[in-house]
Amino acid sequence: MESDSHPEDSTALLAAAFGASPIPAAIVDGQDRIVHANEAFARRQDHTDPAELVGSALPDLHSRSSRIPLGVGLGAYTLISLDPAEATAGGPSARYTGLVSREVLLGEVAQAIASGRRNALLVLHVDRFSIIVDTLGPAEGDRLLETLLARVALATRADDVVCRLGGDEVAVLLRHPTTAEDPGATARWIVRLAGEPVELDGRSVVTSLSVGVALAAPGATVESLLRQADAALSEAKRHGRNRAVVFDPALRAVLEERSRLEYELRVALSSGRLELYFQPEVDMVTGAVLGVEALARWPHPSRGLLAAGAFVELAEQTGLVDELGRWVLDEAVSTLAGWRDLHPELVMRVNVSAMQLARPELVGDVGAILDSAAVPPHQVCLEITETAIMTDIGRSMDVLAELHRLGVRLAIDDFGTGFSSLAHLKRFPVQLLKIDRTFVDDLGDAEGRAIVASVLGLASSLGLAVIAEGVETDEQRRALVELGCTRAQGHLFSEAMDQDSCRRWLATRR
Ligand code: C2E
Ligand code: CA
Ligand code: CA
């Protein structure tokens, strides 16, 4: 469905789009001198010919403007885009001065479908918008949305229709694109424009958009088009956001399957049918058991026992992860309390997802659960992935600091797979790194060993303990011990076990 012709590949097409855009825009160099301006911009400066502005200094703009750096490869050039709401009245830009209401959009979509011509509906979602609003406040959230809408306008035509559906959702009707215009490519272009930094409240904020695209086919209705665009949007988010997906019929089966699984997961959670399994962590030199990691399992009626990898992501996407997370914490902590007779110093490790970390209630929940089970906080360690922390670094720091004050231990999970900078690592109140299984897999060659050695060196200079994950063979065990890493978990020692089996396993290790 995606064609190779992409507007960004065509300089002439881009120049024409820039020139014809109803959004007043200019490109300036590193000294804020105008290199290109479009007609809308020239009109705002009371010029008729944009060429007259080339070489002049960017005027003092009394309107709200966005500065969009054009990227590393393009040097110091910046796109200046003026608030279309303040553009001179009339002209093609009138359409953007007010976004249309949902009713108007639906009417326009119905009309467009009735015309029998090519049409496409785009549904856009600002990724992690709620986190931005929580961090910077609703006014800055609105400013961000306005900037993104101005960028959407740059990629669309004057007779396309733009509608803000809800807080962070926007719909765009691409009306009658020609056969040379590929709505998927337009959507990707919007995603790309949206990914450039936005100046907000004195800081540079980077966001992204996920976009679902539905193409009107014969027999389409407003509802079917909206549903398909939504489905494509979910698919875009599921593939990691910051992308556009065009609906195609094969998606329908996938979506039905997912919504069935979601329903079943909801039922399983609310009727207490999930289970916690536990995987021991051992000292490879002494054989001592130091802790266990709680891992969620779902005994599914027809699919068998599902490991966390098969449903945690679904829980995150459907908002079920809050409930799942609370249940896991509660169950893990009360299990630990029940094992006190066997192993009074055992540490319980619990995985915490990015979405849990973004909830202000997390700290209170953890405190309450520890209190009610009378478990000392230092015997609970929360495992958080680098990516989860980096999603919103400022806020994560606050939550981590509060958890640290509470006395629970904190670990960075899957260390090495994310992109946390060393500078950040130093500031996190974490005590432990878990080296991802992929690095343990690579211990067979010198390069792999060098990587693990450097992680160990880094950890020791920061005073952090290290656990190696996924140790499966004796060679891996030996290599790790040689490098100075003594703590590990993995199938070589034990797979994850249900509560009773783990209790028996611990009893044999006393
Ligand atoms: P993780 O935290 O990295 O967990 C380790 C995963 O590796 C587990 O898979 C575990 O069963 C598996 N594993 C352990 N040792 C070995 C080994 O030697 N070889 C191999 N091949 N695999 C091994 P699982 O249970 O499917 O969990 C997958 C991920 O799902 C976890 O990765 C964790 O990020 C997440 N997860 C698990 N339980 C929970 C939970 O209760 N809450 C949240 N938010 N996430 C969870
Ligand atoms: Ca983990
Ligand atoms: Ca891990």
Separation of 413 CA from ligand 2 center, angstroms?
5
Task: Compute CA distances 16 → 37, 96, 313, whole Å.
Answer: 12, 19, 43
pLDDT value, residue 471: 98
Ligand 1 atom 22: the closest Cα is on which residue? Answer: 470
> Of 194-208, 295-309, 372-386, 452-466, which range is least confident?
194-208
d(CA 325, CA 315): 10
Can you give the three-state secondary structure of 239-291, one letter per residue?
Answer: CCCCCEEECCCHHHHHHHHHHHHHHHHHHHHHCCCCEEEEEEEEECCCCCEEE
Atom of ligand 1 nearest to the CA of 297: 25
Atom of ligand 1 nearest to the CA of 434: 3
Tell me if 504 CB under 6 Å of ligand 1: no
Tell me if 412 CB under 6 Å of ligand 1: no
Relative to the alpha carbon of 470, which ligand is closest? 1
Percent of the chain with pLDDT over 90: 54
Tell me if 307 CB under 6 Å of ligand 1: yes
Can you give the three-state secondary structure of 137-167, one letter per residue?
Answer: CHHHHHHHHHHHHHHHHHHCCCCCEEEECCC
Separation of 353 CA from ligand 2 center, angstroms?
10
User: How open is the CA angle 182-14-241, to the nearest 5 degrees?
Assistant: 55
CB atoms within 10 A of CB 340: 14
pLDDT value, residue 298: 98
Separation of 260 CA from ligand 1 center, angstroms?
24
Tens of pLDDT, residues 325-339: 999 999 999 999 999
More confident residue, 142 or 172: 172
Average pLDDT over residues 43-61: 84
Separation of 98 CA from ligand 3 center, angstroms?
48
Q: Decide if pLDDT at 93 tops 50.
A: no
Separation of 467 CA from ligand 3 center, angstroms?
10
Residues around ion ligand 3, judged by CB within 5 A, are: 413-414, 469
pLDDT value, residue 358: 83
Non-local (6+) Cβ contacts of 56 within 8 A are 33, 34
Ligand 1 atom 16: the closest Cα is on which residue? Answer: 470
Separation of 473 CA from ligand 1 center, angstroms?
18
pLDDT value, residue 91: 32
Quote the radius of gyration of the chain (alpha carbons, Å).
27
Write the single-letter amino acid at 62.
Answer: H
Residue-wise burial string across 116-148, b where 16 or more C-beta atoms lie within 10 A, e elsewhere: eebbbbbbbbbbbbebbbebbeeebbebbbbbb
pTM: 0.67
pLDDT value, residue 65: 62
Q: Which span out of 58-62, 89-93, 125-129, 342-346 was modeled with the highest average pLDDT?
A: 342-346
351, 355, 417, 498: residue to mutate for ligand 1 pocket, most atoms within 8 A of CB: 351
Average pLDDT over residues 414-434: 79
More confident residue, 200 or 312: 312
Q: Is 88 helix (H, G, I), strand (E, B) or coil?
A: coil
Ligand 1 atom 12: the closest Cα is on which residue? Answer: 470
Relative to the alpha carbon of 332, which ligand is closest? 1
Percent of the chain with pLDDT over 70: 91
pLDDT value, residue 80: 82
Q: Decide if pLDDT at 246 tops 80.
A: yes
More confident residue, 347 or 158: 347
Decide if 441 contacts 460 (C-beta within 8 A): no
What is residue 54's DSSP assignment? T
pLDDT band at 349 (very low <50, low <70, confident <90, very high): very high
274, 275, 277, 312: residue to mutate for ligand 1 pocket, most atoms within 8 A of CB: 312
d(CA 117, CA 16): 24
pLDDT value, residue 420: 57
Tell me if 169 CB under 6 Å of ligand 1: no
Separation of 352 CA from ligand 2 center, angstroms?
8
Residue-wise burial string across 18-53, b where 16 or more C-beta atoms lie within 10 A, e elsewhere: beebbbbbbbbeeeeebebbbbbbbbbbeeeebeeb
Tell me if 494 CB under 6 Å of ligand 1: no
